[in-house]
A and B are shown apart, each in its own frame.
Chain A
């Protein structure tokens, strides 16, 4: 059985990645407007998640 112990750090590592990704998405404001996100996914235009991130020049 001890041959499979290397799976423990592996699974913990994967768990850590998942946790880190969740915290990152939380920090990025992806959970600020869940109702809106549900509607926006039906929208054809590609709008950025946060208005601040918008860097398209010369367009209103």
Chain B
């Protein structure tokens, strides 16, 4: 199948001997027992996107010894593997990687099905059943059933409506009660009151052989509103699972060495200060601590934004979440996980979350004005009719008609429908949005703050002087470099992938953590690494070099690569008159260089996480609404503090959870794209609100004057809902250029490779 091409390419591009996948202990920790010696493990496989992929993945996993079966869920891009205790679960991830599907452990979720969604769908099904049957009865009544038959039909309608409202209406009743008991109102308050009064009044009329009953209106109101509610939930849930399915960047546990030399893999929560931990090359540091043995390089880019790895040896302090690159180290835990650097970030985040929680969604703001108005109109109608001598029964009937006709059916659909459509369009462009409020907040933004490493840049180094190095030398360097995880080595290997065959066959290759790689071939000793280590005569040469028998062959220089589209994104935002600021934890000279390259005037480097939050607070104090775009652990508090926030899929777990938008593709065009689409959505939202208002302005006088019958109410209600839904769907057609689901999945897999 042609759509599977990119996945196989991703395999070819993966550096040889890269990630080995999680250890058996880590997998067991993330799995759950389903009885009879069977275990279930959930893996997230973002590259799965067609029927052929599903079969390939299921068959490959099924062939592993001890695996009972594997089942792919294409909607969530997950595979759940069931295996007996004899199986080796650490083989799962490498097996999938070998056939071109990078996978990572997912949290066990098979049993925590989406209960809210099922209850919403059940309520929707019951409401649909009730609405259709009552509507059939009502059509009979409207077409002129004689009094006896009419009363019978009304009675049957009441018998269907009562359980339907009791069951399906709970969604609104509980939400309305919750708002009222906190002294607020929301959209659900007028809805609930309208439904209950309409039902009560109709029941009374039915028992007294009245001519009009509003059972159909009450139940179809619930049905329409539940459709909007369910779609809204599906949208948020889809974004949530998509974000949850991304790779974790925090350790789940660690190998603890006990006093008697015994080793044990303990979950993170059980690690106490003073314990001795083993961290293999390629693993994340689980808690804050100090290295007591071993040499390595530590990649801090995700934690503090430094683009170059740090050397680490005995005595070096290391922070939780940093990546141990080159050699195994033994460390002593200094703090428990809950007191580590990560926890400090969480504390900062909680302190920072202020402006956003104060934000009230447009629909709720509209409801807080609208609800009192509707109730007042109904009350005034009732009093008015009483005064002109309509009698309490007729007055109440007209008041109920007013409540039904103005009940914010269109209003409650107007906003969610647009947001659902907008979220879907963003999803197709590879951007996840957490909730509708985020779509509204991002439109108010007038300042964009970028992080540097991992956001404006890819956070991965690239070789910059390829042109100055002889191809044969580069091939030797690449062949050696393929054996290491060090960012410099990876950059060299990536630069000369297609030339590796020119390289000699090595007798041995070894890595010296913190120094470099050493290889022997045909009696020569090649060294690739720090100049001071690789060269016998280091006069004036620094940086990374390749040497043969202590003599310089080539020097390498590196730079962090710009994210594709970074330049265009910054220009597009500037063209819209937005103020752009660059805040980074990296060295100031690096930050200045990048800012100049991108044409950003305001920048600051060497910032600690607290400084970023303070900078955002200062902007907020100027009355600025800030969109924060960042990826690191150190950005997480700033992401939480900003008015709206975005993070790439490669961001630290906690940053991703704090961000309103997560973009899955490499390109930074996502930022102006999200902004543009949200603005278009905002325009449509306002249009829809205006439409709903116009409808009410026309219908209300008729209702107040008592001209509205149940038939008219049903027609008016449905047609206004259809109009706002149709208007919302226009957003889907605004531009149709970027629909390419197959390539979306391929890019997702690239992002993780």
Contact = CB atoms under 8 A, between A and B. Distances in A.
B55 A43 contact: yes
Given A1-B149, A39-B54, A42-B51, A60 B63 contact: yes
A32 B80 CA distance: 13
A43 to B, nearest CB: 6
Contact of A51 (B69, B126, B136, B149): B69
A25 B126 CA distance: 14
B80 A22 contact: no
Interface in B48-86: 50-51, 54-55, 62-63, 67-76, 80, 82
Interface string B154-185: 00100010000000000000000000000000
Interface string A21-60: 0110010010111111001101100010011101000001
Nearest to A29: B113
A12 interface: yes
Contacts of A40: 51, 54
Q: 10 smallest A-B Cβ distances: which pairs?
A: A39-B51, A36-B74, A35-B74, A51-B71, A33-B73, A35-B75, A19-B129, A33-B75, A22-B125, A51-B69
B55 A15 contact: no
19 contacts: A1-B149, A11-B133, A15-B132, A16-B129, A19-B126, A23-B125, A26-B121, A32-B75, A33-B73, A35-B75, A36-B54, A39-B51, A39-B74, A40-B54, A43-B55, A50-B71, A51-B71, A60-B62, A60-B67
B453 to A, nearest CB: 36
A8 interface: yes
Interface residues of B, number: 33
Contact of A60 (B68, B122, B125, B160): B68
B118 A15 contact: no
Given A39-B50, A60-B63, A60-B67, 18 more contacts: A12-B133, A12-B160, A15-B133, A16-B129, A18-B129, A23-B125, A31-B121, A32-B113, A33-B73, A35-B74, A36-B75, A39-B74, A43-B51, A47-B71, A51-B71, A54-B69, A60-B68, A60-B69
A51 B121 CA distance: 23
Interface string B110-142: 000100001001100110010011001000000
A11 B129 CA distance: 11
B34 interface: yes
Interface in B29-45: 34
A58 B510 CA distance: 45
B149 A52 contact: no
Contacts of B80: 51
A33 B69 contact: no
Contacts of B122: 23, 26
A22 B126 CA distance: 10
Nearest to A37: B74
B69 A36 contact: no
B98 to A, nearest CB: 19
Nearest to B126: A19
A17 B214 CA distance: 26
A45 to B, nearest CB: 8
Contacts of B82: 51
A5 to B, nearest CB: 8
B149 A2 contact: yes
Nearest to B40: A51
A11 B152 CA distance: 15
B110 to A, nearest CB: 9
Chain B CB within 10 A, most for which of A1, A40, A52: A52
A35 B520 CA distance: 52
A46 to B, nearest CB: 13
Contacts of B160: 12
Contacts of A29: 113
A18 B149 CA distance: 26
Nearest to B49: A35
B49 to A, nearest CB: 9
B149 A33 contact: no
Contacts of B121: 26, 31
Contacts of A42: 51
B154 to A, nearest CB: 13
Contacts of B67: 60
Interface string B721-733: 0000000000000
Contacts of A5: 152
Chain A CB within 10 A, most for which of B71, B73, B149: B71
Contacts of A16: 129
A52 B110 CA distance: 11
Interface string B719-752: 0000000000000000000000000000000000
A8 B152 CA distance: 11
B118 A32 contact: no
A7 to B, nearest CB: 11
B74 A32 contact: no
Nearest to B136: A11
A43 B51 CA distance: 8
A27 to B, nearest CB: 8
A24 to B, nearest CB: 11
Contact of A26 (B54, B62, B70, B118): B118
B73 A32 contact: yes
A15 B75 contact: no
Nearest to B74: A36
A53 to B, nearest CB: 11
A23 B313 CA distance: 61
A11 to B, nearest CB: 7
A18 B130 CA distance: 12
A22 B69 CA distance: 28
A5 B149 CA distance: 9
B34 A52 contact: yes
Contacts of A33: 73-76
A34 to B, nearest CB: 6
A60 B84 CA distance: 11
A12 B113 CA distance: 31
A34 B8 CA distance: 26
A54 B67 CA distance: 13
Contacts of B72: 36
A40 B68 CA distance: 20
A45 B684 CA distance: 47
